[in-house]
Structure 1
Amino acid sequence: MQPIFHRVMSTSTALGLLAGLGIAGGMGLPLGIASAEAQDELNVYSARHYEADDALFSGFTKETGIEVNIIEGSDEELVTRIVNEGANSPADVLITVDAGRLWRADQEGVFQPVESEVLEERIPANLRHPDGHWFGFSTRIRTLYYNPEIVDEPPQTYEDLAAPRFEGLVCIRSSSNIYNLSLMASLIEHHGAEKAEEWANGVVSNFARDPQGGDTDQIRGVASGECGVALANHYYYMRLVRSDDDADQEVVENTELVWANQEGRGAHQNVSGAGVLQNAPHKDAAVKFLEYLATDEAQAYFANGNNEYPAVESALDNPVLEEFGRPKLDDVNVSVYGENQPEAQMIFDRAGWK
């Protein structure tokens, strides 16, 4: 069956074609994107690259009759495109991952505030922008992992990663990675910049190797014994748990997960979110789409498609996530991850965190 939404061209491909035609910045209404007169269509720019998201777009069309056109790209590409298109932009909604990226987009002035009783009721206040510029629809938890054959006393908190007992044992991604920037931003919020920098220095001293690879690579490093402990978003591990591949199952068998800071503020959570764009030609449809993302049906797609926790807790319907439970979570407003991001990067740089 053909999808009832339209995946248009990726933005990198589109910009390349436009450049070849001598059209700078992706201006206008290229690639068959709907014009403002076609009120039964919605144009979504998405930096989420999960096949399971197709169900979100199809589900919205089935429920509303509004067809969805999708442009995909990195968050940087999409925000640049929206800014360059200006008042002529056909984009209605931007979807991306991590509150730090949503903050970056908001700094460019691309979002408009949305007032919706549905969203205010369904989405917890700490998972959305205080003024309604964007809303988080799923959560991802930064999680600790360890190899029980190497580590006798596993870490229980993020702060433990700087403890001397883990010297030469920590595997983690680069400091430029948005997930780590947001974690550091949360540490700044909770402890202040001075203590957060002490932590960064301690973690760097404990590196098992120079930062490299993605989150799954950190987990595999723990399983292989190259590292004793690591940090990665929970859904990467859940993918391995649900995998039929023997090598993935071996990684799971050799790795233990720890929900961090359960005796204190709770585990660091981040969001995948979306907002209505400043020049959205189909604002009403865009708000309807955001409200649809908060329904139990759509929330279940987030949980089952990418093993993310739904922002609406009652919508959780994923056996693997239910098996691991829903940990105590840090309830700080995730918008501070963006606000503290510049200072977080400076701290990482001073600590020599590559």
Structure 2
Amino acid sequence: MRRPLARSLTALAAAALTLPALTSCSDEPAGLVIYSGRNENLVGPLIEKLEKHLGTNVDVRYGDSAELSAQLLEEGDRTEAGLFLSQDAGALGALSKEGRLAQLPPKTLDRVAPTYRSAAGDWVGVSGRVRVVAYNPDKAPTPPDSVHDLVKPEWKGKIGFAPTNASFQAFVTGMRVLEGDEAARAWLKGLKANKPKAYENNLNVLDAVDSGEVSLGLLNHYYWYEQAAEKGADKLKAKVHYLPKGDPGGLVNVAGVGLVKGADKQQSAYAQKAADFLLSTESQRYFAAETKEYPLAAGVEQADGVPPLESLQPPKIDLGRLDSLKETLAMLQEAGLV
């Protein structure tokens, strides 16, 4: 079970001024240095496999994706990092916009559909996740087909969400990109008026839905499937509903990788091999089986029971434009949700 990650306003505000404290998986001289916004508990087993694949030591420095992105911008060509493994596309988009990522070769990019990679060719998604509505059939027998319905009076006091969670904030950023700031601001104010219940993380939201504490909640799909695998689907009262017709609440976001521009020749070579490894069948099957995320490389199927990615109806969006997190955080604060 992954440990849910939260992103705080204080930490993000400080990111541009103070480099985050990072941890390394090894004190040995590194063949490859990775800045990882993904949880060590989640990707640790893959890093061990990567070390064997590369035949060299890998030094992973863990932190928040947005903070690591800010650090890479601060370091510039002085960075020791060869590869950036991000929890979300927004942090990769921020580096791409500033020209801090190197071009990836077509053979790497072409393993993933254009929707889930950089239009500039400098980052690529390695796993995907979709936003869903978790609902309790006893409390919400007919879940809404749009997040815009959540501001209606019938859902007052019945919604659970995790406002400090990076995926919720990415969803709000996506709404801003898709519908404009004024529409997103109005939705947030409407949500606040409906008195949603805030939780620390997505897993807490799912537990609240399952127990009937709230009628429905906003979270990523894999939390339900992980719980179903652990406890048995028949033991869960909560169900998941995929939003149709390109609704912004059905955003598909990705975790992805980019090669850091300015890295030395050896770092760059190892980083390229690492990116290809994360798109290999072995790694993609790991994401599907162990994390219940969507494998993005062609030819690898999702976990049993998870609907195929191509069957979903997510909004069409350039994921690199999810980089304006600072503005989203300010909007959430203005609405009184964080």
TM-score bracket relative to the smaller structure: 0.7 to 0.9
Q: Deviations over 1:177-219 (max 9, x none)?
A: 321221112112222222222211221122343x221001111
Q: What is the SS of the residue equivalent to 2:299?
A: helix
C-alpha distance in structure 1 between counterparts of 2:321 and 2:99, whole Å: 19
Q: Is there any run of 5+ residues in structure 1 with no aligned partner, and where? A: 1-23, 35-40
TM value normalised by structure 1: 0.78
**Residue 172 to residue 265, structure 1, CA distance change in 2 (3 Å):** closer
Match of 1:242 among 205, 225, 229: 229
Counterpart amino acid of 1:312?
A
Structure 1 vs Structure 2: percent identity of aligned residues? 23
C-alpha distance in structure 2 between counterparts of 1:237 and 1:106, whole Å: 33
C-alpha distance in structure 1 between counterparts of 2:307 and 2:128, whole Å: 14
* Structure label with greater radius of gyration: 1
Q: Is there any run of 5+ residues in structure 2 with no aligned partner, and where? A: 1-18
In the TM superposition, residue 256 of structure 1 has moved relative to its aligned partner by 1.5
Contact 2:20/2:63, CA 8 A, preserved across alignment: no
Contact 2:134/2:206, CA 8 A, preserved across alignment: yes
Task: Find the counterpart in structure 2 of residue 279 from structure 1.
Answer: 262
Match of 1:173 among 147, 162, 174: 162
Q: Deviations over 1:59-99 (max 9, x none)?
A: 44444534433233333564566566654433211212012
**Residue 111 to residue 33, structure 1, CA distance change in 2 (3 Å):** farther
Match of 2:107 among 108, 111, 118: 118
What is the number of equivalent residue pairs in this alignment?
315
Counterpart amino acid of 1:193?
D
Q: 2:87 matched to 1:97?
A: yes
C-alpha distance in structure 2 between counterparts of 1:225 and 1:259, whole Å: 20
Task: Find the counterpart in structure 2 of residue 343 from structure 1.
Answer: 327
**Residue 78 to residue 32, structure 1, CA distance change in 2 (3 Å):** farther
Match of 2:318 among 333, 343, 350: 333
Q: What is the SS of the residue equivalent to 2:118?
A: coil
Q: Deviations over 1:154-195 (max 9, x none)?
A: 111222222222111111112x43212211121122222222
Task: Find the counterpart in structure 1 of residue 289 from structure 2.
Answer: 304
Q: Deviations over 1:310-341 (max 9, x none)?
A: 112531142132599952333311111114x3
C-alpha distance in structure 1 between counterparts of 2:81 and 2:126, whole Å: 19
Task: Find the counterpart in structure 2 of residue 321 from structure 1.
Answer: 306
Q: Deviations over 1:271-329 (max 9, x none)?
A: 11111112323112211211222222221111112111011253114213259995233
Q: What is the SS of the residue equivalent to 1:330?
A: coil
Contact 1:173/1:214, CA 8 A, preserved across alignment: yes
Task: Find the counterpart in structure 2 of residue 268 from structure 1.
Answer: 251
TM value normalised by structure 2: 0.81
Task: Find the counterpart in structure 2 of residue 17 from structure 1.
Answer: none
